[in-house]
Amino acid sequence: MVNLAQADDKYTPIFIVSGGAGALGKHIARIALSQFPGITPPVIVIPQVSQVDQLPAILDQVAQRRGLIIHTMVDPLLREALVRAAAERAILTIDTIGDPLTRLAAVYGQSPLGQPGLYQRQNEAYLDRIKAIEYTVDHDDGRNPHELHDADVVLTGVSRVGKTPLSMYMGVLGWKVANVPLVNGIAPPRQLFEIDRRRVVGLTIEGDVLGHHRRWRNQAFQGTAGHSYTDPEELDEELQWARRLFRQGGFAVVNVTNKPIEETADQVIALISRYFEHRLSA
């Protein structure tokens, strides 16, 4: 069941019957119900309806709860069978797709394909990119390390090496990217060494460039990071420690010194693609 609001059983239930996932029907119901403040019926999605023999059980369920049907059936035979069977049982049906298809067919002189799920498949690349961005945001700066195994790429390195902007850039390209900060003397999350090492890329940088980045950062935060954050000797030690961790994990390493983010991203993607097939979003 999908609740569009706090569902109330005193209202006639709405059943979304679809040959696909039911997303269109849910969206239409959401828009329509917004025009009726306080009306909060249960909304039940019945997806993947592809055979006529599925209809009796569906109609039994609707009749038992005295509901109505919003359907998005693109298969004309299945749509006709649903409407006819529902009418025989005095069940109200709302057709959201049949009339548009009929009218468009008349305008363009071409019969519709009648295949469910085409819209969703056409938009999969866009939806995958949105999911990648959401994953990348949710796994920035070491968050949710227990989900590192779901990442396409895991970036790791010391503070101010450029993990977050690189992650976000790659997320927009459609890659699910997590980044794990390394802090000298603090053990990284164990999951970093448990996932496939070929998905992990260590980022390194020249000490003087890192120092410049950190001094700017420290000034922006009024010097709250402390002396060790920008001390050249501390920086060199920190970078050496990070490189030892990279060797320990068997991670590929990319030097980001003075590179534009696009070049670094291309290098990381090339490293990962060397081992794994992956959809590249244009």
Per-10-residue mean pLDDT, the chain, length 282: 50 91 84 86 91 95 94 88 95 85 74 61 70 93 94 96 95 94 93 95 94 81 66 91 96 96 93 65 38
Q: Which pLDDT belongs to residue 31?
A: 85
Gyration radius of the chain over CA positions: 27
Taking the complete model, does pTM exceed 0.85, yes or no? no
Q: Which pLDDT belongs to residue 169?
A: 94
- The fold adopted by the segment(s) 14-122 is Rossmann fold (3.40.50)
Query: In this structure, are residues 174 and 128 in contact, taking their beta carbons and an 8 Å threshold?
Result: yes
CA distance 22 to 17: 7
Residue ranges per structural domain of the chain: 14-122, 124-273
Which of these CATH numbers, 3.40.50, 1.10.3470, 3.30.70, 3.90.550, describes 124-273? 3.40.50
Q: Which pLDDT belongs to residue 82?
A: 95
Q: Which pLDDT belongs to residue 5?
A: 39
Whole-angstrom CA distances from 236 to 136, 180, 219, 264 are 29, 20, 20, 22
Q: Which pLDDT belongs to residue 8?
A: 56
Query: In this structure, are residues 169 and 261 in contact, taking their beta carbons and an 8 Å threshold?
Result: yes
CATH fold match for the domains 14-122 and 124-273: yes
For residue 174 the two structure tokens come to 């459609």
CB-neighbour burial class of residue 2 (10 A; exposed 0-12, middle 13-18, buried 19+): middle
CB-neighbour burial class of residue 117 (10 A; exposed 0-12, middle 13-18, buried 19+): middle
